[in-house]
Amino acid sequence: DTEVTQTPKHLVMGMTNKKSLKCEQHMGHRAMYWYKQKAKKPPELMFVYSYEKLSINESVPSRFSPECPNSSLLNLHLHALQPEDSALYLCASSRAGDEDTQYFGPGTRLTVL
Amino acid sequence: RKEVEQDPGPFNVPEGATVAFNCTYSNSASQSFFWYRQDCRKEPKLLMSVYSSGNEDGRFTAQLNRASQYISLLIRDSKLSDSATYLCVVPTGTASKLTFGTGTRLQVTL
């Protein structure tokens, strides 16, 4: 199993809604990541979890709140988002000791109205 | 120099052609390099890793030139299915942080 899965595939939410994105991997990877990608741009790193602890927060606004309940799961809780937050949100994971080789999930396409 | 810079593209090539993309990087201490392909509205998929002078996988060859700080990706016998954006990725040296190039768009036509 070399797969990272993400749900939902698509999400439309209003600026007052609270929603969550989910990511799961069963490859035994101990690092997991959230990226944001706007159209025609490369992915931008948001958060890194290493061994279930937040190790990197790239100065992401607090309306994005990550959570790592266990080594296989990664959530991104969304609250009071802005229309400019509409993007493809990608989850990735990597093996311990080989953090540079990252495997991406299919992403959640988020639209904020 | 930008941290990672790629040919802007788009590259429009006929099926069967050989095409090459270049990527330059600024961090001379970088030890590993990656090419990802990304189809429209899909996730990046790891295509090749490069740790030494180069790597070959079927029709795809990646070359590394450390002296000039560039990596190239050569695609031989292009297929329609090779149409995608190719992202050059270089680790920053800070654990887990990657720098992505802006990507090169390839369109293979009949």
Give the DSSP letter string of A24-85.
EE-S---EEEEEEE-TTS--EEEEEEETTEEEEE-S--TTEEEEEEETTEEEEEEES--GGG
Looking at every residue in chain B, the average pLDDT score rounds to 93
Q: Are strands A108-112 and A10-13 parallel, antiparallel or unpaired?
A: parallel
Sign of CA dihedral A13, A15, A16, A19: positive
Please say whether the beta carbons of A46 and A32 come within 8 A.
no
- Smallest CA–CA distance, residue B14 to chain A, in Å, is 23
Q: Which residues contact B110 (CB under 8 A, 6 or more apart)?
A: B14, B15, B80
pLDDT of res. A39 = 93
Q: B96, A43: Cβ pair inside 8 Å?
A: no
CA A27 to chain centroid, in Å, comes to: 17
Interface check B2 vs A, CB under 8 A: no
The residue among A88, A98, A100 with the most chain B CBs within 10 A of its CB, best to mutate, is A100
**What is the rounded end-to-end Cα distance, in angstroms, of chain B?**
37
Q: B96, A100: Cβ pair inside 8 Å?
A: yes
**In the predicted model, what is the mean pLDDT of residues A42-70?**
96
pLDDT of res. B54 = 87
pLDDT for B1 beyond 90: no
Q: Which residue, among B47, B19, B33, B15, has the nearest Cα to B105 in the 3D structure?
A: B19
Q: A100, B41: Cβ pair inside 8 Å?
A: no
Q: B41, A42: Cβ pair inside 8 Å?
A: no
B 40-99: CB under 8 A from A = 41-46, 49, 87, 91, 95-98
CB pairs under 8 A between A and B: 46
Please say whether the beta carbons of A112 and A85 come within 8 A.
yes
Nearest residue in A to B32, CA atom: A100
pLDDT band at A2 (very low <50, low <70, confident <90, very high): low
Q: Which residue, among A23, A1, A112, has the nearest Cα to A74 in the 3D structure?
A: A23
How far is Cα A108 from Cα B48, in angstroms, rounded to an integer?
A: 25
Residues A4-28: tens digit of each pLDDT = 999 999 999 999 999 999 999 999 9
CB nearest to B46's CB, from A43, A99, A103:
A103
